[in-house]
Structure 1
């Protein structure tokens, strides 16, 4: 079947007596913003999703796994937020009802997400609080995990870093990229297969207050530096802590977050904007460091403890509402919340058991970028740079 779209000139020359055709012409057969995450999912959206810009593709009339649209969700204002779920449809309504950060998820194929107008104006909040949570468990249905971690290729060695939010992971990544000429895969989330293969997920980096020490003066313009001093404070560990504290009160916290981030956007930059680097498609992970602010230490972590701690770090990244109330309603590929969580744990266990050494690296002076290269040398990885795995594909960032 051939579908013909009228041109703009044809639409202008159409008789005035046929206004009913306008809604049909405005309704797209596909969504304007489309993103193809290889091996995972195609996402189509009516709003831009800057965190997925690396995966942006031209809009095409092809099936998507997840579709995001803007529409009216929720009813009148209410005294408390609520989540309702029935027949595969979950609706989250905040205090402001249809005027707040309400959304609806239809757990089908494709998976349909409808966000209210306020969320549509703050796509960062829509992505972080809703869409990424769905991507996390969509990955599980594909036999992968979306792990809260950073990943680099350092001299041919696949290295992952995991930490609690705002520990210092981003600053460490920037230093390793600059000083070790590492190749970039991810800073915040990494797609990992059961065989230990990490795939790139290069979201823009969020520059918090303590990350500023890893940025050199000429990396940004004077105007960017002025903005960054305010942005980094608001979006720092302290700012996030205030948000989490407010979330415990009976307040429309996601709507407040959407308005705040529209006024003061989070300080986000691609890795290549801050330091010259390449972005690699995939790498076999050999070393995983759980970094933490503590007394100086280096210690191995057993498999069970590593699985538990890595999942805790991942959950920590989803601590902001409404994940705790919304996520348990997720059903994908016939698996409910408990089954998806159990499968996620099993995938991670298999990945770590494939040959990834996990160690804890404590520091009280942010010196992880100094110690990790030396630990790789001591671990017998000197020659790996000359024996790059065949499954690594470098791409220019």
Structure 2
């Protein structure tokens, strides 16, 4: 840094009362110096002293910093002194206590590591997929190759990219998935904290679960009997046994796998279902109406659906759903639970245990929206054929 090219300026000023004063002004070492004195001689003396001071500072202030680095250091000193009003030592102590090192791992490495790690602990593929999609979306939004130090402002910015007409569930889902990934980064030691933790979710106004009327169920089952009998076991277990319909994972997926493996899941007292949150259960036949008759007529020895690959089965069933205009993927389960609530001798507690859910949810979502007459009409739906052997059984018999 060189000396200023211009010498100190001395400006004469006359005050309103006629008294003369002299302003000495000079910029030295980045600082603007000003002083008002009574005479020009005194002003010249001050100017000479400042010049001498500047020469002395230039002689003794040595640094290894570049010009840009030195300018940044001086700027930081001014911020500390004039804006934050703290000294350098105080600022250093605060940084040592509070500085959080940015994550040096790249997004392209962190995300695959998350997938591998979560599979090891048994997280479902759909959950992993949702979080991975959110993580990639967040990485694209922040636009840096390294994870760095994600902030709450960045998370809020990502959420603000959602269109105004998205529902609370979509908003909350994205927030939860991003938070899950950032939380995992914390557990792995890549981040000191999760900036999405504690962020407010939007309130979801949940309506009552949709159901199918008996006539619509009859249309579905008769169509399957004629055109796709291999799908009858799955549809019957859902609409009479309240089976959770997920084919790629969950109850239906596990029941299908058990059947294909030759395990015994149909017992004298009911059908065995491997749940998750509410554990394994035996669903009594008396809560399932004609389910046993349907499974006798259309045995599920070969699995609940024809395709061995759940992904393909899911795609094929989506065509059935579209044809019969299902309002949601779980509508058959909702219909089954509604009918169970009005079965002879049923109670909310028994239905909750059989369906693998909570009694409070049964009372809130299902009671008062169905009737004994509707249950009777639904359960009067019986298979057209009776005691038909499965293809595997017929082949073995032949």
TM-score past 0.5 threshold? no
Greater gyration radius? 2
Instruction: Considering fraction of residues, name the structure with more strand.
Output: 1
Into which bin does the TM-score normalised by the smaller protein fall? under 0.3
Instruction: Considering fraction of residues, name the structure with more helix.
Output: 2
TM normalised by structure 2 equals 0.25
